[in-house]
Amino acid sequence: MDEDITPLGHEVFQIDTRMAGYDGITAAYLIRSDRPCLVETGTAPSAPVVRDALAQLGIAAGDLATVVVTHIHLDHAGGAGDIAALYPGAQIVVHQRGARHLADPSRLMAGARLVYGNALEHFFGVLAPVPADRIVALEDTGTVDLGGGRRLDSYYSPGHAKHHVGLVDSDTGDLYTGDAAGVYLPDTGDLRPATPPPDFDLETALASVARFAALRPTRLLFSHYGPVTEVAQTLDRSAEEIRLWVEETRRARAAGLDLDHAVAMVVERTRARYAAFGPDADPALAVKFDRISGDASNVSGIMHWLDKTEAQDQVGQLCGLRRRGQLGLETGRQQQVTDRPPGARRGIVGGKALG
């Protein structure tokens, strides 16, 4: 079997998507059940890598029943359009808040281009649209039918992204964590948070990690990267990492540092925690780690959240003074948005709607 494919038992296979040419940073997973399911697509340029791996695993173009993405960031769902075209019978399952962006990726791509500029194509490629009638939108919970009584249960888990879900395999107890529990580097066992702009939110991120722990999974399958069996300890660490990066970023911000200096300070103060940055570590590991959990991305995501919450607090206080908190409450509440594209199905319940 190809070195990009790692069998994980119970017909689960980890596939190295070779994101931007790196090995071992971004995984997709095949569940080769009666109704075969791909979890995560990787980037658009990874689609041929994923297709070759699926072919080796005996999955032909007509065989794939579903593709589920934990969220619509391009390292997880960038290949959704290409994979949908390669597997015409597959339905593409995504949280309802991400659904319309898969159907029409123009806004998502424009935003990504602002962040990455000319490096966008190299690292992530271009997300092709997914036909809206093949998109299945998940609500707060949902079910993907894997066939033979086996299913994936989805749990809304925002904080890293407002369109993020975790997925539990009913047969194995595996939890596909996406990026909600941070990123894990198997070479060193390091775990770092993933707190990018514009969605990062401390309370919801911690609540999602707690929700994962409450599901009592038997194993964590990180998109970055691979399986971890020390579940409780690892999720504790996920929460600790998020809290620590927020605390350090808050400190840098309180000192009046601009973003570059804040990043330098947070890196300096957290560096010793990670073996990948140790004096004996292969320098390639630090590059890999930064690719999937970038210092600048993490710190700017936290800064963005701090700016937002502070502004809300100020408005809240102002309004509270005038109207005893009535308006303040309103400004603090998340607006309800329905992001489901026209034509997309409702969230699947009870494993039926995917038949």
Q: Which is nearer to Zn ion, 161 or 246 (CB)?
A: 161
| Residue 158 Cβ vs Zn ion, minimum distance, rounded to whole Å | 15
Q: Which residue's structure tokens are 């979890």?
A: 39
| Residue 71 Cβ vs Zn ion, minimum distance, rounded to whole Å | 8
Q: Which residue's structure tokens are 């029409």?
A: 104
Kindly list the distances between the CA atom of residue 326 and the CA atoms of 126, 307, 331, 336, in Å, as whole numbers in the listed order: 44, 22, 9, 18
Pairing relation of β-strands 91-95 and 135-138?
parallel
CA–CA gap between residue 101 and residue 196 (Å, rounded): 18
Stretch that binds Zn ion, among 68-76, 184-192, 259-267, 342-350 (CB under 5 A): 68-76
CA–CA gap between residue 306 and residue 89 (Å, rounded): 44
Under rule CB under 5 A, residue 40 binds Zn ion: no
Under rule CB under 5 A, residue 75 binds Zn ion: yes
Under rule CB under 5 A, residue 199 binds Zn ion: no
Q: Which is nearer to Zn ion, 64 or 181 (CB)?
A: 181
Phi, psi of 294 (to 5 degrees): -70, 140
Sign of the C-alpha dihedral, residues 14, 17, 18, 20? Answer: negative
Q: Which is nearer to Zn ion, 39 or 65 (CB)?
A: 39
CA–CA gap between residue 334 and residue 277 (Å, rounded): 38
**Cis peptide, bond prior to residue 279, ω within 30 of zero:** no
Q: Which is nearer to Zn ion, 156 or 252 (CB)?
A: 156
Q: Which residues make beta-bridge pairs with 144?
A: 152
| Residue 327 Cβ vs Zn ion, minimum distance, rounded to whole Å | 37
| Residue 259 Cβ vs Zn ion, minimum distance, rounded to whole Å | 21
Q: Which residues make beta-bridge pairs with 142?
A: 154
Q: Kindly determine how many residues on this chain lie close enough to bind Zn ion according to the rule CB under 5 A.
A: 2
Q: Which is nearer to Zn ion, 64 or 292 (CB)?
A: 292
In sequence order, the 6+-apart residues with CB closer than 8 A to the CB of 274 are 188, 190, 192, 289
Q: Which is nearer to Zn ion, 69 or 136 (CB)?
A: 69
* Touching Zn ion, residues 157-186 (CB under 5 A): 179
Stretch that binds Zn ion, among 47-55, 75-83, 156-164, 165-173 (CB under 5 A): 75-83
Q: Which is nearer to Zn ion, 4 or 179 (CB)?
A: 179
| Residue 258 Cβ vs Zn ion, minimum distance, rounded to whole Å | 26
| Residue 81 Cβ vs Zn ion, minimum distance, rounded to whole Å | 18
| Residue 225 Cβ vs Zn ion, minimum distance, rounded to whole Å | 10
Q: Which is nearer to Zn ion, 75 or 339 (CB)?
A: 75
CA–CA gap between residue 242 and residue 193 (Å, rounded): 5
Stretch that binds Zn ion, among 2-10, 74-82, 151-159, 282-290 (CB under 5 A): 74-82
Stretch that binds Zn ion, among 72-80, 146-154, 166-174, 319-327 (CB under 5 A): 72-80
Q: Which residues make beta-bridge pairs with 143?
A: 153
Phi, psi of 59 (to 5 degrees): -100, 110
Footprint of Zn ion (CB under 5 A): 75, 179
